[in-house]
Amino acid sequence: VQLVESGGGLAQPGGSLRLSCAASGFTFHEHTIGWFRQAPGKEREGVSCINFSDSDTAYADSVKGRFAISSDSVRNTVYLQMNSLKPEDTAVYYCATTFVPCDRYVISSSSAMDYWGKGTLVTVSS
């Protein structure tokens, strides 16, 4: 199993970034992909998740209405479109996978996830 994140960088407050998670080595329609983030000095927190099978999604309250998760089954890639970025969105963003169907439980605890990428840094600053 391999998960590779990309798309991080520097954005201004109110700006946008799109993260990508390229996945390989597993049967996609049986899995959920989740995005998590970890800010300096803070615990890792769940952001969003999506089922490859039916595209059901879930979001943390802190990003609902600003972030949108989507999947491309042809490219085996999951995207996280981040709009209206805030300085508090600054963190290393990780994608991870699990057999557990996507719901708020999956993003409430990173312990539900089986495999992780190495992360991509997002910095929101003027």
Per-residue pLDDT, 56? 92
pLDDT at site 110: 87
Output the pLDDT for position 85: 98
For residue 107, the surrounding DSSP H or E stretch is: helix 104-108
pLDDT, tens digit, 9 for 90 and up, residues 45-101: 999 999 988 889 999 999 999 999 999 988 999 999 999 999 999 999 999 999 999
Q: What are the backbone angles phi and psi of residue 90, rounded to the nearest 5°?
A: -60, 125
| pLDDT at 26 exceeding the cut of 90 | no
Q: Quick check: 125 pLDDT over 90?
A: yes
Per-residue confidence band for 124, with pLDDT thresholds at 50, 70 and 90? very high
Structure tokens at 108: 């409430």
Name the band, by pLDDT with cuts 50, 70 and 90, for residue 29: confident
For 42-51, write each residue's pLDDT tens digit. 999 999 999 9
**Which pair of structure tokens corresponds to residue 30?**
């049986």
Going by the DSSP 8-state scheme, the letter that residue 43 receives in this structure is: -
CB within 8 Å of 70: residues ≥ 6 apart: 50, 55, 78, 79, 81
From the number of C-beta atoms within 10 Å of its C-beta (0-12, 13-18, 19+), residue 26 rates as middle
Helix (H, G, I), strand (E, B) or coil at 17: strand
